[in-house]
Amino acid sequence: MSPLRCFLRTPEAVAGAILLAALIAMALSAALLFPGDPQAIAGPALLPPFQDWSLPLGTDRLGRDVLAELFHGARTSLAVGLAAAAAALAIGSVVGTLAGFAGGLVDEVLMRITDAFQTVPGFLLALAFVSVVGPSLGIVVIAIALGTWPGPARVARAEVLSIRERDYVAGARVIGMHPLAIAFREVLPNALPPVLAMSSVIVAAAILTEAALSFLGLGDPNRVTWGGMIAEGRAVLRTAPFLSIVPGIALVLTVLGVYLAGEGIVETTAVRRGLS
């Protein structure tokens, strides 16, 4: 059975895939469908949804097109979520592999650093980092990754501790391979599957953290974000609740989609491993 067909066997995975595909389509088509600046004024302020079909989801307090903002916000959410998760997984795998493979003092030092990062709540760390360095897309990505990498690092280290006792690692030493080459060519690729299984949780958490930072006004001010939209709508929550509800629903569906698709991938790899 092909991996894709295997993946699409469970209804959860199908739902997750559809949600994610819709999100990616939104992000990719944002510039095509709404070529102008999404933060430009498009009509009268606080126009409710489904009134004017040129502005289907209405406008916000400043008269900006909510649908255009939603599409452009998808780009930010997805970009930040994926970039932060990728950075966290990369840092975590490298640190975990080095700690587990080297052992001894290197392991002690790296794992105590990991402890230090893990004991500080990730959101607080991101908040402090962005407040000090200043909000921009890259800084937000780094801030989120800083609080997230210890998890993957621990999983990678645990996996490496078991892999380094395998015969093929001994075999690589016997042929005279350099220890760093053994760590990154022989050990790391085989330690990755359980680390990658965490990626859906990490992406979802990163998207939520980004939204929370934006909600607090610490997102990139030059970009539309869903968190920023919710914050915008908060001031008029009683009179125009849709301004907060629409991006809120988008956020919920995105996180749900990432979770479901991630579960599907884990199931697929588990089934395939069980078959072989």
Partner 1 sequence: MSLLTVSNLTKSYRCGSKTIAAVDDVSFHIDPGETLALAGPSGSGKSTIARLVLRLIEPDAGRIEFEGNDFLALSGAALRARRTRLQMVFQDPLAAFNPRATVARVLDDPLRIHGIAARAERPRRIAALLERVGLTADVAPRAIHEISGGQRQRVAIARAIATKPSLIVLDEAVSALDVSVRGQILELLLDLQRQERIAYVFISHDLGVVRAIAHRVVLLEGGQIAESGDARTVIDAPQSAIGKALVAAAPRLNRIRP
Stretch that binds partner 1, among 2-10, 145-153, 181-189, 244-252 (CB under 8 A): 181-189
Residue 275 in contact with partner 1, rule: CB under 8 A? no
Selected binder of partner 1 within 65, 186, 210, 220 (CB under 8 A): 186
Rg (C-alpha) for the chain, rounded Å, is: 22
Q: How many angstroms separate the CA atoms of 199 and 219, rounded?
A: 23
Q: How far is the CB of 173 from partner 1 (least distance, A)?
A: 6
Binding-site size, partner 1 (CB under 8 A)? 16
Q: How far is the CB of 175 from partner 1 (least distance, A)?
A: 4
Selected binder of partner 1 within 11, 189, 217, 221 (CB under 8 A): 189
- Amino acid sitting at position 10: T
Residue 96 contacts residue 153 (beta carbons within 8 Å): yes
Nearest to 61 by CA among 266, 258, 239: 239
Selected binder of partner 1 within 4, 105, 132, 175 (CB under 8 A): 175
Residue 21 in contact with partner 1, rule: CB under 8 A? no
Stretch that binds partner 1, among 82-90, 178-186, 230-238, 241-249 (CB under 8 A): 178-186
Stretch that binds partner 1, among 49-57, 80-88, 170-178, 203-211 (CB under 8 A): 170-178
Cβ neighbors of 149 (< 8 A, separation 6 or more) are 87, 88, 89, 91, 92, 95, 117
Residue 165 in contact with partner 1, rule: CB under 8 A? no
Residue 245 contacts residue 162 (beta carbons within 8 Å): no
Nearest to 147 by CA among 122, 129, 112: 122
Q: How many angstroms separate the CA atoms of 74 and 30, rounded?
A: 8
Contacts with partner 1, residue ranges (CB under 8 A):
166-168, 170-178, 181, 186, 189-190
